Structure 1
Amino acid sequence: MTPADLSLTVQHAVRRAVDEGVLSVEVPELVRVERPRPGGCGDYASNVALSLARAAGATPRHVAEVLIERLLPHPALDRVDITGPGFLNFTLRHDVQQDLVRAILRDGLDYGRRPDTGEIAQPCYRSDVRAAVTADAVRRLLLFQGVRLRTASEDAADDEWALLGVRIEAQHSRPHLPTTIAPLPVPDGAAELYRRFGVDAARWGLLSAAAHDHAKLTDELLHQHEGNPLFRVRYAYTRTRALLRNAGQLGFASEPLQTVDAPALTGLLRDHPAVLASAARLGAPDRVARHLEATADALLAFQHTVLPLGDEKPSAAHRSRLALAEAAGTVLAGGLALLGISAPDQI
């Protein structure tokens, strides 16, 4: 169960309570689910009971108890606890990891995609190369979240932006649209960035820093060593492809048969859809870049456990570890694609 799945599950529990006449509130369009804060417990937490209490004319704890009654039958939930004044804390079933891996391998690069929401957006960006590349990444993220949109530039678009993979949709100014995407500018234009770094490194350098920070455009982007986050992310992906090839040579394939002891990596894979949703909502592709870095680091720490060692025979544990590594590679490739960056099978 991903955070997005859990959010919908809680929303459905609220709707059931309303339909049954137990709560008299408006069903929220979105239930926020996040990692537990200090004092919390379990895998995830939500303040939905606190946000509904006033409208329901009840205490947050009572609202939480009403929701727990409708949540606990869910097969993916092991327990739901109440902490503090009424926070819901969710503990997932241990074998939910297999379901997560199966979902990622089933959906492939579409893992985390939302169906068409009917929502329409038209973000406007300042007319410079960093804003244009950022707007292009935000466009990809919003489309992935089911939002229909057309981006617009304050001034005429620069044809050279296409060198960095920017899809130019608006050639003329739209003065009635406020500028919604305006990261700190960079001194160089698209042609110079393309010449120095190429498409992938230039886009990573422009997108991996928060909008209020300076872009990370240094020669380190081209160095193939662990100090370069872009190299680390792409290298981690290539490791998953190599593991699959090596496993094939040893006569086994990936299959999530049992739970693998890799909580950090599993948690990051589970959080991926929520990261994409928040990055799209906030217009912040740097959130995706940071999440990919963390996923790559967790995968690189885990990869050494995947293949059999010495005379060891492939087992269900090896198949399950390989499936988790393959799922991690899928998340890395999908995240890079949404940033407009390629994921080569070999470096």
Structure 2
Amino acid sequence: MTPAELAEVVLSAAHAVFTDRGLDRSALPERAVVERPRNPEHGDYASTLALQLAKKVGQPPRELAAALAEQLGRAPGIKSVEIAGPGFLNIRLDAAAAGVLARSIVQAGPEYGRSDRLAGERINLEFVSANPTGPVHIGGVRWAAVGDALARLLRATGADVGTEYYFNDAGSQIDRFARSLLAAAKGEPAPEDGYGGAYIAEIAAEVLTRRPDALGLDDAAAQEVFRVEGVELMFAEIKSSLRDFGVEFDTYFNEKSLHDRGELDQALNRLREQGHVYETEGAVWLRTTDFGDDKDRVLRKSNGEWTYFAADCAYYLDKRERGFERVVIMLGADHHGYIGRMKAMSACFGDDPARNLEILIGQLVNLVRDGAPVRMSKRAGTVVTLEDLVDAIGVDAARYALARYSSDSMIDIDVELWTRATRDNPVYYVQYVAARTASVGRNAAEVGLTRGDAEAFRPELLDHEKENELLKALAAFPAVVATAAELREPHRVARYLEDLSGAYHRFYDSCRILPRGDEEVTDLHRARLWLNDATRTVIANGLHLLGVSAPERM
């Protein structure tokens, strides 16, 4: 019995109790919730349904809990129900009901853990969005790992998700990039406000390969050539690096298109219609202070130039008009100041910022080697890049390490730890279980042990303490996925996988799966093989949500 199935049983029991007692069944929720108690001695699952409903229908909580417990006790698969405190229900399953989960997981395969919890939600998820003026640095790599994992989680819970990379190919930083490329092509030092690093010389050389005539043009025309060609080459490199990291986007959106299509004017007109635009000293302003911002924001300068904030407004409106009900933007640690102005901007458009716009801020990441931070890339010159991280610890370890921690906490990635083939390396610890469960399957086949017909599976044989512990851990996976998606916290999946790995190791050490020597294959061996394979399924499904492989051999 899965937690979802047990929740249905609890709700069905509540319907029966309400009918018998003549209580208002409209007070019953659409779904009940069951959770694993913190103390295993309290049972397999707990429900607070009696406490939630008692006041609504004028019943003493413990009396209502007693009626629910009596009704639940008649349900198949329920071993016992105890009432605790003011009306908690502590539920124990019989071994057969608990054990059948192993078969359900294996049969569900990649679908186990998926749900329709967020069905009907259209979410635009924007992450990384590094400017095409250099390689993706380690901060952007964190969002690549976390953002991609979050997209997978949201889709696994039924949301319609569009992932998006917004690149700024207009503005002063692109001008500085172009001047830096031109200087490198001429063999001159980078401008004082320009970009350095070996990659600048590499891209400048590629531009000259494409356009050998560029240096024969006047400086303005040459700079334009280096701007257009350089941005294209740099962004192609960024996309290639992310693809090698396992991250691709549904949409790559460039800022310049907002200008070319007149969308900044459209956004300004919409904001005027809402009554939040005013002009003073020749500039056009948005009155964001009406919605909690610390100051009003300029949309158009007195010289007629658009501000970056105007482009932010147009881009937000573009997403909403593409049908995305919720816009989620993942920004770096230095962007806390954006939250107030962006939320206010959403309200100025007439939206509900609490519903239509989410801004997630990620904290800094340091790559540590020999106990000291790695300060800069040999190629980029000023930052540690995606390639530096992957070269140091590999794609799987990098993705797992970046997604393992809450994004609002700073992290140090220790090269020695994340490349170590020992249990203190979290990704190795989890992937080792993926490989061990696969190895057990191969070894079972060699000795003639198969799971057998699903109908012949004997779940009641899985009554060992460590088998029960592992089954409980496996049962928690769908709830972990749903919670991680709803709270935007992929690290919950990683921590769950580590707990599950521990439960599997304890099961493996205590419960013999394969027959020894000439020992006859029994139904218990087969039942434990179902449990082994169920663990492999959940480990693989969880790692997939993090964009990490589940190896069959290590």
The separation in 1 between residues aligned to 2:391 and 2:357, in whole angstroms, is 32
Residue in structure 2 matched with residue 54 of structure 1 by the alignment: 55
Tell me by how many angstroms 1:16 deviates: 5.0
Pick one of 365, 370, 391 that aligns with 1:186.
365
TM-score (norm 1): 0.88
**Aligned sequence identity (%):** 34
- Note if 1:32 corresponds to 2:228: no
Distance 2:420 2:39 in 1: 39
2:541 and 2:160 mapped to 1: Cα distance? Answer: 20
2: distance between equivalents of 1:116 and 1:85?
30
Change in Cα spacing, 1:9 to 1:155, as seen in structure 2 (3 Å) is: farther
Contact 1:10 1:31 in 2 (8 A): yes
1:170-220 CA distance string (max 9 Å, x none): 544535463443332335443333333332111101011122333452222
Alignment match of 1:270 (pick from 475, 479, 486): 475
* Map 1:157-306 → 2, pairs under 5 A: 159=239, 160-172=241-253, 173-174=315-316, 176=346, 178-186=357-365, 188-215=384-411, 217-219=413-415, 220-255=417-452, 256-257=457-458, 258-261=461-464, 262-304=467-509, 305-306=512-513
Question: In structure 2, how many angstroms separate the alpha carbons of the residues matched to 1:92 and 1:210?
Answer: 34
Q: Which 10-residue stretch deviates more, 195-204 or 157-166? A: 157-166
- Counterpart for residue 150 of structure 2: 138
Q: Which stretch of the first structure deviates more once superposed, 122-131 or 312-321?
A: 122-131
Q: 1:296 to 1:216 in 2, by over 3 A?
A: farther
Question: Aligned-pair distance for 1:19?
Answer: 6.5
Q: Is the 8 A contact 2:119 2:157 kept in 1?
A: no
**Which is worse superposed, 332-341 or 259-268?**
259-268
* The structure with more radius of gyration: 2
1:307 and 2:520 aligned = no
Give the aligned partner of residue 5 of structure 2. 5
Instruction: Return the offset for 1:251.
Output: 1.2
3-state DSSP of counterpart to 1:89: strand
State the SS of the aligned residue for 1:9: helix
The CA deviation at 1:340 is 0.9
Q: Distance in 2 between the 1:120 and 1:311 partners?
A: 56
Cα pair distance change 1:290/1:117, threshold 3 Å: closer
Equivalents in 2 of 1:264, 1:285: separation in Å? 24
Alignment match, 1:330: 537
Q: Deviations over 1:213-240 (max 9, x none)?
A: 3345222222212221111111111111
**SS of match in other structure, 1:56:** coil
Q: What are the superposed Cα offsets for residues 107-139 of structure 1, whole Å, 9 maximum, x if unpaired?
A: 112112224863304265564332232122111
Once the two structures are TM-superposed, the CA of residue 165 in structure 1 deviates from its matched residue by 1.9
TM-score under structure 2 length normalisation: 0.57
Contact 1:221 1:230 in 2 (8 A): yes
| RMSD (Å) for aligned C-alpha atoms | 2.7
Query: Quick check: which one's strand share is greater?
Result: 2
Secondary structure of 1:132's counterpart equals: helix
Tell me which moved more, 5-14 or 128-137: 5-14
Q: How does 1:64-83 map to 2 (within 5 A)?
A: 64-83=65-84
1:8–1:31 contact (8 Å) kept in structure 2: yes
Structure 1 window deviating more from structure 2 (241-250 vs 112-121): it is 112-121
Question: Aligned-pair distance for 1:269?
Answer: 1.0
**Is the partner of 2:486 in helix, strand or coil?**
helix
**1: distance between equivalents of 2:24 and 2:385?**
57
More displaced stretch, 253-262 vs 276-285: 253-262
Tell me which moved more, 56-65 or 322-331: 56-65
| Superimposed CA distance per residue, residues 2-39 of structure 1 (whole angstroms, 9 cap, x where no aligned partner) | 22222233234445556674235433244332222569
Structure 1 residue 78: deviation in Å?
1.9
CA contact (8 A) 1:13 1:71 kept: yes
- Whether the 8 Å contact between 1:3 and 1:270 is mirrored in structure 2 is yes
Structure 2: distance between partners of 1:63 and 1:151: 47
Which residue of structure 1 lines up, in the alignment, with residue 325 of structure 2?
A: none
C-alpha separation between the residues in 1 aligned to 2:424 and 2:530? 28
Change (3 A) 1:139 1:124: closer
